[in-house]
């Protein structure tokens, strides 16, 4: 017991424990890393399919940050991510456009809005208002647009609308500059 | 075997971590908005508690008092990260809805509390019993609260994507306030009063 | 600038640590019986939150990200917070004994306060910049202190009130927290 009382032993022990911890975590990370990446990709792919049901696969263009859903090698439209801060934090939204750049639809990838109120932005009764809108109509009805806000969740609704509109405008500008 | 049963049972009612000791309330209230989340959190919490109690009871005689807390924290944090990574990789939907409350299990007072008060003083068998008992105690508390909140707040009961049933009359007009944060305070406040009224002494 | 103000009030009032995020409930119910101790606890948490954010943000962005070891976040952050609390405690003890007597017993409790670890996670998850994360920590700490003070004021009066026997003590404190949360819900409008 004598050795355990002196200053050296506790430090050694703590170092050893930290070392074991690092090894254990590195191993777990090595096992789960690919799975986690895959889960993230799957999530976007699943959402893409609900936007473009005819899709057979998709490509991702890193330079323009666009997802291009394909059927028989032909693009069905474009999709990209939009982000906007809502009530409880960042909301990330997948925006789908038709080839003629009208809105195909949107899907909520992640959000931390209040359950039961703001979180309803991910439900279909809200999302189904978006398909077919022109960019300028993506605005809440009380501000002259075409989207009805969710009762009791104006902030979350308006965050989605603002985020989507801004993302489409930015993306169109960016594509115009590139071509 | 007698002490095993005794140590197992005490966490379920007599020293229930949630309702009697009032410990580790953060996850209990934060993620109890749906039954899915409650079950997921209970499973994650119990795995970490069980593993930490086993490891700490095994090394308890080699850890000097001066570095006890840092050693325990590193062990618990490692276990929590492992659970977090596994959830992210294999059940991404659950991992997303539990969010930062999974890594926050590290600072859950119950786990460090059990390590300090039990596993660092008792043998491995008893520590396993203690962890399982506390785990079950935590699980039924969080599941009960989430049941109340989901039933009243959405007017229906769903589990892992299966719709179980709709409450008559509530389905179209749910009491949304139960899903809001304050609904959690209300639910646990009324439950505590109910237990006390039934004669259980809830902790002060 | 307006962005920083929005973050501050968003953290302090709209996404209040205690009432909305359920972080730091143990001190909220444990140390809110007397106004004086509530104030000391609140300030101690505010202090540790800001220092922890200042230290963990660079560690994450300049150490963990470049080496691809973001998964070490939880372990590193909790160790950093535990050491910081120790250092702050020793510094205060040496420099200001009055302050130490006021805050001393609360400091060790803060290591396992989920609000502190929580704010460092929020800073990373919300992708805040360095100044933003400091403001977020200030806001979160201020919001925590505010509800702790309000709660202690209510509870001092509650001691003299006469609720149904079964509700006396903790249950009525939870109901009070619920009503407080309802009041704070109204702050939602200010970031709209």
Per CB-CB distance under 8 Å, the chain C contacts of A89 are 15, 122, 125-126
Inter-chain CB proximity C166 and B194 less than 8 Å = yes
Q: Is residue C192 part of a domain?
A: no
Q: Which of B64, B90, B176 shows the shortest C-beta gap to A10?
A: B64
Q: What is the mean pLDDT of residues C18-35?
A: 82
| CA atoms within a 13 Å half-sphere pointing along the CA-CB vector of B74 | 20
Q: What is the pLDDT of residue C104?
A: 66
Inter-chain CB proximity C24 and B26 less than 8 Å = yes
Closest C-alpha among B201, B17, B18 to residue C169? B201
CA distance C153 to C141: 18
Cβ pair A108, A43 in contact under 8 A: no
**Is B160 exposed, middle or buried, given 0-12, 13-18 or 19+ CB atoms closer than 10 A?**
exposed
Q: What is the pLDDT of residue C1?
A: 65
Q: What is the pLDDT of residue B152?
A: 86
Inter-chain CB proximity C75 and A89 less than 8 Å = no
Q: What is the pLDDT of residue A6?
A: 63
B136's tokens: 């079950």
Inter-chain CB proximity B182 and C182 less than 8 Å = yes
Per CB-CB distance under 8 Å, the chain B contacts of C175 are 185-186, 189-190
List Cβ neighbours of A142 (8 Å cut-off, separation of 6 or more): A149
Mutate which of C6, C11, C71 to disrupt the A interface (most A C-beta within 10 Å)? C71
Which of A89-103, A110-124, B71-85, C173-187 shows the lowest mean pLDDT across its residues?
A110-124
What ranges do the domains of chain B cover?
Answer: 2-150
Q: Is residue C107 part of a domain?
A: yes
Q: What is the pLDDT of residue B81?
A: 93
Is residue C88 predicted with pLDDT exceeding 60?
A: yes
* Buried/exposed C150-182: b ≥16 CB within 10 Å, e otherwise: bbbebbeebeeeeeeebbbbbbbbbbbbbebbb
pLDDT digits (tens, 9 = 90+) for A71-80: 777 788 888 8
User: CA angle, corner A76, sides to A73 and A81, nearest 5?
Assistant: 115
Please count the structural domains in chain C: 1
Inter-chain CB proximity C15 and A158 less than 8 Å = no
Interface of A with C in 25-44 (CB under 8 A): 25, 28-29
Q: What is the mean pLDDT of residues A149-174?
A: 85
Inter-chain CB proximity B85 and A18 less than 8 Å = no
Q: What is the pLDDT of residue A1?
A: 44
Mean pLDDT of chain C, nearest integer: 85
Mutate which of C188, C189, C192 to disrupt the A interface (most A C-beta within 10 Å)? C188
C-alpha dist (Å) from residue A20 to A24, B51, B74, C180: 6, 15, 10, 45
B116–chain C Cβ distance below 8 A for any pair? no
Q: What is the pLDDT of residue A2?
A: 46
Interface of A with C in 149-168 (CB under 8 A): 154-155, 158
3-state secondary structure chain C: CHHHHHHHHHHHHHCCCCCCCCCCHHHHHHCCCCHHHHHHHHHHHHHHHHHHHHHHHHHHHHHHCCCCCHHHHHHHHHHHHHHHHHHHHHHHHHHCHHHHHHHCCCHHHHCCCHHHHHHHHHHHHCCCCHHHHHHHHHHHHHHHHHHHHHHHHHHHHHCCCCCCHHHCCHHHHHHHHHHHHHHHHHHHHHHC
- Residue A168: pLDDT band (50, 70, 90) is confident
| CA atoms within a 13 Å half-sphere pointing along the CA-CB vector of B16 | 21
Inter-chain CB proximity B88 and A117 less than 8 Å = no
Q: Is residue C148 part of a domain?
A: yes
Q: What is the pLDDT of residue C91?
A: 85
Q: State the ipTM, two decimals.
A: 0.83
Per CB-CB distance under 8 Å, the chain C contacts of B80 are 74
Per CB-CB distance under 8 Å, the chain B contacts of C173 are 189
CA distance B103 to B57: 23
Most confident of B22-26, B126-130, C185-189: B126-130
- Residue C171: pLDDT band (50, 70, 90) is confident
Q: What is the pLDDT of residue C144?
A: 92
Is residue B201 predicted with pLDDT exceeding 70?
A: no
Q: What is the mean pLDDT of residues C117-137?
A: 89
- Residue B204: pLDDT band (50, 70, 90) is very low
Inter-chain CB proximity C71 and A29 less than 8 Å = yes
Q: What is the pLDDT of residue C189?
A: 64
Q: Is residue C135 part of a domain?
A: yes
Is residue C111 predicted with pLDDT exceeding 90?
A: no
B62–chain A Cβ distance below 8 A for any pair? yes
Q: What is the mean pLDDT of residues B88-115?
A: 86
Please give the backbone phi and psi of residue A67, each rounded to the nearest 5 degrees, phi first. Answer: -95, 130
pLDDT digits (tens, 9 = 90+) for C28-83: 887 777 888 888 888 888 988 999 999 999 999 998 888 888 888 889 999 899 88
Q: What is the pLDDT of residue C192?
A: 45
Q: What is the pLDDT of residue B55?
A: 92
- Residue B45: pLDDT band (50, 70, 90) is very high
C83's tokens: 């050491």
Measured between CA atoms, how close is C160 to chain A, in angstroms?
35
Q: What is the mean pLDDT of residues A89-113?
A: 84
Q: Which of A25, A90, A155 shows the shortest C-beta gap to C72?
A: A25
Cβ pair B46, B138 in contact under 8 A: yes
Q: From C186, which residue of chain A is nearest by alpha-carbon distance?
A: A152
Q: What is the pLDDT of residue C190?
A: 63
Q: What is the pLDDT of residue C150?
A: 92
Is residue C102 predicted with pLDDT exceeding 80?
A: no
| Other chains touching A, judged by 3 or more CB pairs under 8 Å | B, C
List Cβ neighbours of A36 (8 Å cut-off, separation of 6 or more): B85, B88, B89, B92
Q: Which of A10, A42, A110 shows the shortest C-beta gap to B66?
A: A10
Q: What is the pLDDT of residue B31?
A: 86
pLDDT digits (tens, 9 = 90+) for B104-146: 998 888 888 888 888 888 888 888 988 999 999 999 999 999 9
Task: Identify the residue with better confidence: B201 or B49.
Answer: B49
Interface of B with A in 93-132 (CB under 8 A): 96, 99
Per CB-CB distance under 8 Å, the chain B contacts of C185 are 180, 182
Q: Which of A4, A25, A35 shows the shortest C-beta gap to B90?
A: A35
Full residue range of the structural domain in which residue C166 is found: 7-187
Inter-chain CB proximity B104 and C122 less than 8 Å = no
Inter-chain CB proximity A90 and C192 less than 8 Å = no
The single residue listed with the structure tokens 């501050």 is C8
A70–chain C Cβ distance below 8 A for any pair? no
Mean pLDDT of chain A, nearest integer: 82
pLDDT digits (tens, 9 = 90+) for A19-66: 998 899 889 888 888 888 888 777 788 888 888 887 777 878 777 778
Q: What percent of chain A has pLDDT over 90?
A: 1
Most confident of A10-14, B166-170, C101-105: A10-14
Is residue B1 predicted with pLDDT exceeding 70?
A: no
Q: Is residue C140 part of a domain?
A: yes
């Amino acid at each position: 017991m004598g050795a355990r009382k002196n200053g050296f032993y506790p430090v050694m022990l703590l170092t050893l424990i930290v070392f074991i911890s690092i090894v254990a975590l590195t191993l777990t990370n090595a096992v789960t890393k690919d799975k986690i990446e895959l889960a993230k990709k799957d999530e976007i792919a699943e959402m893409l399919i609900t936007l473009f049901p005819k899709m057979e696969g998709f490509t991702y263009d890193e330079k323009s940050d666009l997802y291009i859903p394909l059927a028989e090698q032909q693009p069905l439209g474009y999709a990209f991510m939009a982000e906007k801060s809502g009530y409880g934090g960042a909301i990330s939204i997948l925006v789908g456009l038709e080839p003629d750049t009208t809105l195909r639809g949107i899907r909520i990838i992640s959000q931390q809005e209040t359950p039961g109120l703001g979180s309803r932005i991910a439900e279909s009764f809200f999302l189904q208002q978006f398909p077919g809108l022109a960019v300028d109509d993506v605005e809440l009805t009380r501000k002259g647009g075409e989207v009805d806000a969710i009762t009791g969740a104006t902030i979350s609704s308006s965050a989605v609308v603002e985020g989507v509109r801004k993302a489409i405008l930015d993306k169109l500008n960016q594509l115009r500059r590139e071509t | 075997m007698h002490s095993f049963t005794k140590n197992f049972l005490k966490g379920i009612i007599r020293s229930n971590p949630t309702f009697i000791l009032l410990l580790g309330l953060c996850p209990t209230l934060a993620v109890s908005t749906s039954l899915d989340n409650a079950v997921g959190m209970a499973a994650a919490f119990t795995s970490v508690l069980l593993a930490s109690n086993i490891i700490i009871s095994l090394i308890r005689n080699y850890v000097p008092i001066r570095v006890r807390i840092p050693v325990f924290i590193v062990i618990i944090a490692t276990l929590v990260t492992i659970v977090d990574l596994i959830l992210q990789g294999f059940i991404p939907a659950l991992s997303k809805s539990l969010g930062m409350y999974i890594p926050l299990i590290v600072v859950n007072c119950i786990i460090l509390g059990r390590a300090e008060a039990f596993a660092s003083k008792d043998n491995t068998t008893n520590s396993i019993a203690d962890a399982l008992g506390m785990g079950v105690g935590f699980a039924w508390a969080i599941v009960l609260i989430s049941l109340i909140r989901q039933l009243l707040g959405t007017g229906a009961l769903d589990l892992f994507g299966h719709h179980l049933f709709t409450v008559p009359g509530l389905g179209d007009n749910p009491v949304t306030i139960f899903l809001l944060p304050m609904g959690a305070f209300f639910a646990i406040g009324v439950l505590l009063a109910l237990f006390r009224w039934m004669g259980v002494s809830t902790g002060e | 600038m307006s962005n920083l103000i929005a973050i501050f009030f968003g953290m302090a009032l709209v996404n209040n640590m205690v009432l909305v995020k359920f972080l730091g409930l143990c001190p909220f119910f444990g140390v809110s019986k007397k106004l004086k101790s509530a104030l000391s606890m609140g300030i101690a948490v505010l202090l540790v939150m800001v220092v922890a954010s200042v230290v963990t943000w660079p560690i994450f962005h300049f150490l963990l990200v470049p080496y691809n070891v973001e998964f070490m976040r939880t372990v590193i952050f909790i160790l950093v917070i535990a050491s910081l609390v120790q250092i702050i405690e020793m510094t205060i003890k040496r420099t200001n004994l009055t302050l130490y007597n006021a805050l001393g017993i609360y400091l060790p409790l803060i290591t396992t306060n989920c609000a502190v670890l929580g704010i460092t996670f929020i800073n990373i998850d919300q992708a805040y910049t360095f100044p933003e994360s400091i403001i977020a920590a200030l806001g979160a700490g201020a919001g925590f202190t505010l509800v702790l003070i309000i709660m202690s004021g209510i509870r001092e009066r509650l001691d003299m009130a006469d609720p149904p026997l079964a509700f006396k003590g903790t249950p009525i404190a939870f109901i009070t927290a619920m009503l407080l949360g309802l009041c704070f819900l109204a702050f939602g409008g200010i970031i709209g």
